[in-house]
Structure 1
Amino acid sequence: MRRSGSTIKEVAQKAGVSPMTVSRVLNNQDVVRETTKRRVFDAIRELNYRPSIMARSLANGRSLCVGLLYTNPSHGYLSELLLGTLSACRERQHLLVVDKPDEDLLRRDPQYVEQTFLRSSIQALVVAPPLSEDAEFMAKIAAAEIRYIALGPVHWGNGLSVCIDEIAAAEDMTSHLLELGHRDIGLIRGPAAHAASALRFEGYKRAIEKAGIPVDERLIADGNFDYHSGREAARRLLSGDKKPTAIFATNDDMACGAIGFAYEQGLRIPRDLSVVGFDDSPSAAANWPPLTTIRQPVREMAEIAVGLLDADIMTIAPDQRQRVVPHTLVKRESTRPLLD
């Protein structure tokens, strides 16, 4: 493949059009015929052309145009992710472009990924879950030969990724509730599209089974990593014939939703019900009572990811390409020992 130093004039010559037409295609203007667009994109692919909107900042040879891609529904997670990415990009004088890809187009249009990045000067990507766990999407990113860092527990071949040990973290939280005397521990799982949902469920099961307690499906409810789904899951758990004395919501947004529903039912937290979360997002400390949770250092993980974009992957040993960051059990006022 040709080096990426091609010019817009070379692309125009290859496609048999004017440089102005190439510019219109790159800016997604509707005045260009589809057949012409295809010729332009074919030329861009062959020449490996990357338009430069930041030539001045790239002059020092270090700065990058970094794309942050997300489809995660959790506002708490996204705020920490954005703050960490912004901080690291500012420190390194990188330009940051934040994008939420169109999920329908991702599924329907096989050219969506390639055309989206060929129209920009994005040179590197930080990809957040669940997008970073989508095999088809990540294969397209790899095929486009754009360097990337995947956040989350799924590691792709020879790529780089940053995560925590999701199973160990969920096991630690469940063990904490068991140490407080709880035996009927409800779990609010996240959406199936997130690999972390299954891993956190596995950690919950391991702790329960180690305590000699069978996993009871009546104590399991599904959510979508947002406040509303946490409320609905808590309603199902607290309305069933097997009521939990503690609820482990596998992210903070759902935990806050569970607490909100419990209050509406006249339950006092933690006197009548202990509730814990996962992530230690800003809402965890701001909630009342402040939420016991697992701290997933999303901001620091994002900073590490941006730092790795500067690295030469060939100098990193294969067993070091997935960076596992420590988690922390943060104990606050939403839990208490179970009273007999």
Structure 2
Amino acid sequence: MPARKKAASPLALPSGKAATINDVARLSGVSKKTVSRIINQSPLVKPDTRERVEALMREIGYRPDPMARGLAFRRSFLIGMVYDNPTAQYIVNMQYGALDGIRDSGFELVVHPCDSHAANYIDGVRRFVTQQKLHGVLLVPRVSEDQDLADMLSEVGCRYVRIAPVAMDQMSRMVVTHDRDGAAEAAEYLYALGHRDIALITGPNRYRSAPERTGGFLGALDRYGVKVPRSRIIEAAYTFESGVAAAEKLLAGKDRPSAIFTGNDEMAAGVYKVAMRAGISIPQQLSVVGFDDSPLASRLWPALTTVRRPTRDTGRLAASMLLQPEENAALTNVSIRPHLIVRDSCQPPA
């Protein structure tokens, strides 16, 4: 009795035809891009999809061409973080958050500090992105607020997520921190304690966070009928030294405010230093509120009342957004809500 001929596999290819990546995509029902990601061991593919496509490749005998693979894979497993920020602790917390977001993903974090004052800083970021073949970039304030930088990243085809106090782009590319709301809560707290003579030490106006925090604080007081004189508002630089210089102006002489709100905790620490040298006790003679809730806030004495902005969570969420498949990006809408942490640096005015 003649031997029965083995039935052809429904996935068999014409005799003598070598399987191609297009065959794999067609037979598996996924895109060519997804097949390429699987070939290059990208972590951006669901495990069940990876297993199914790899099984198909084995069945039809598909073998990727190593040379073609190298040419096709244009992105590394690197996430970039670009920043120009004077507050070291903020940057450290943001980096920790980004590392949380990419942990166990196969991606690594590379950082690019820059000087956004420099005329050619965008060219420097362009070189960083293209030479490292970055999968995506996390933009930290203040560079996140630069539309020319965002346009350049779009031009070179690099994904990005911007962290900013207000929406400045498509929401799929934003983590919004709502700084204005946090500052308003600080103003309401000082008003509730009975303070009416309040001063502000703001950040530099070139940072979008500075006018947002100032506007939120003054707007909340204005709703209660409290006007802050221009002489009580001093622009500083988000640094300890600039906080010292501003506090020296506000606390000189007898006509001093009963409370000071600062745009970040570093500048609040500068207020503490000036008050100590002048023999002004906190909070008995001066109430102080900061912004950020950095580790410094709980280490000062008395412990600083401040607006908590969860920086580490912000970095984690931003990095996680870059790992999502681009087709899911349109569904993303991420916001971070600040809130006041009450400690020991405030009390009703004497």
TM-score range, shorter chain: 0.7 to 0.9
Q: Which residue of 1 aligns with 2:334?
A: 323
Q: Deviations over 1:272-329 (max 9, x none)?
A: 1011100000101111111100000000011011111122344344xx6552112121
Is the CA contact (8 Å cut-off) linking 2:83 and 2:113 kept in structure 1? yes
Q: For the residues of structure 1 that align with 2:113 and 2:320, how far apart are their CA atoms?
A: 22
Deviation at 1:332, TM superposition (A): 0.4
- Is 2:231 the counterpart of 1:249? no
Are 2:128 and 1:116 aligned?
Answer: yes
Judged with a 3 Å threshold, the aligned counterparts in structure 2 of structure 1 residues 93 and 215 are, in CA distance, closer, same or farther, namely: same
Aligned residue in 1 for 2:288: 275
CA distance, structure 2, for counterparts of residue 67 and residue 209 of structure 1: 41
Amino acid in structure 1 at the alignment position of 2:41:
A
- Decide which of 165, 175, 185 is 1:153's aligned counterpart: 165
1:119, distance to aligned residue in structure 2 (A): 1.4
AA paired with 1:200? R
Structure 1: gaps of 5 or more residues: 1-54
8 A Cα contact 1:218 1:240, kept in partner: no
Match of 1:90 in 2: 103
Find the counterpart in structure 1 of residue 41 from structure 2. 59
Distance 1:204 1:110, change over 3 A: closer
Query: What is the SS of the residue equivalent to 1:68?
Result: strand
**Whole-Å separation in 2 of the counterparts to 1:270 and 1:202:** 25
Q: Deviations over 1:41-69 (max 9, x none)?
A: xxxxxxxxxxxxxx9x9624438300111
Question: Structure 1 325/306 Cα, relative in aligned 2: closer, same or farther at 3 Å?
Answer: same
Helix, strand or coil at the partner of 2:175: strand
C-alpha distance in 2 between matches for 1:192 and 1:104: 14
What amino acid maps onto 1:227 in structure 2? Answer: F
Return closer, same or farther for 1:102/1:233 CA change in 2, 3 Å cut-off: closer
Q: Which residue in the other structure is 2:141 paired with?
A: 129
8 A Cα contact 2:43 2:105, kept in partner: no
Mapped contact 1:278–1:296 kept (Cα < 8 A): yes
* Mapped contact 1:76–1:253 kept (Cα < 8 A): no
Residues 177-205 of structure 1 show CA distances to partners (whole Å, capped at 9, x for unaligned) of 01111001110100112101000011111
Give the distance between the partners of 1:102 and 1:278, measured in 2 at CA.
24
C-alpha distance in structure 2 between counterparts of 1:240 and 1:147, whole Å = 53
Query: Do residues 140 (structure 1) and 171 (structure 2) align?
Result: no
Alignment correspondent of 1:177: 190
Q: Alpha-carbon deviation of 1:215?
A: 2.6
TM-score computed with the length of structure 2 as normaliser: 0.75
Structure number with bigger Rg:
2
Q: Deviations over 1:86-108 (max 9, x none)?
A: 22222423111011024455x23
Secondary structure, aligned partner of 2:238: coil
What is the deviation of 1:213? 1.6
Counterpart residue number, 2:347: 336
Q: 1:132, 1:154 within 8 Å by CA — same for their partners in 2?
A: no
AA aligned opposite 2:347: R
Distance 1:166 1:65 in 2: 30
CA deviation digits over 1:66-87, x for unaligned, max 9? 0111111012211211111122
What is the CA RMSD across the aligned residues, in angstroms? 2.3
Question: What amino acid is aligned across from residue 152 of structure 1 in structure 2?
Answer: A
Cα–Cα, structure 1 residues 189 and 110, in superposed 2: closer, same or farther, change >3 Å? closer
Tell me the percent identity: 31
Task: Say if 1:270 and 1:69 are closer, same or farther in 2 by CA, change over 3 A.
Answer: same
Q: Secondary structure at the match of 1:239?
A: coil
SS of equivalent to 2:291? coil
Determine if contact 2:81/2:112 at 8 Å carries over to the other structure. Answer: yes
SS at match of 2:347: coil
What is the deviation of 1:155? Answer: 3.2
Q: Structure 1 residues 109 and 80, CA, compared in 2 at 3 Å: closer, same or farther? A: closer
Cα-to-partner distance string for 1:203-241 (whole Å, 9 max, x where unaligned): 111111111122311110111111000111111111267
User: C-alpha offsets along residues 120-147 of structure 1, whole Å, 9 cap, x if unaligned?
Assistant: 1322111100010012222212212111
Question: Within 2, Cα distance between the matches of 1:322 and 1:132?
Answer: 17
Residues in 1 aligned to 2:203 and 2:111: alpha-carbon distance in whole angstroms: 24
> Where does residue 301 of structure 1 map in the other structure?
314
1:65 and 1:124 in contact (8 A); partners too: yes
1:250-289 Cα shifts (integer Å, max 9, x gaps)? 1010011111111111111111101110000010111111
Q: 1:64 to 1:203 in 2, by over 3 A?
A: same
Determine the C-alpha separation between the residues in 2 that align with 1:198 and 1:290. 26
AA matched with 2:167: H
Letter in 1 for 2:173: L
TM-score (norm 1): 0.77
**Residue 188 of structure 2 is aligned to residue 206 of structure 1:** no
The number of aligned residues is 282
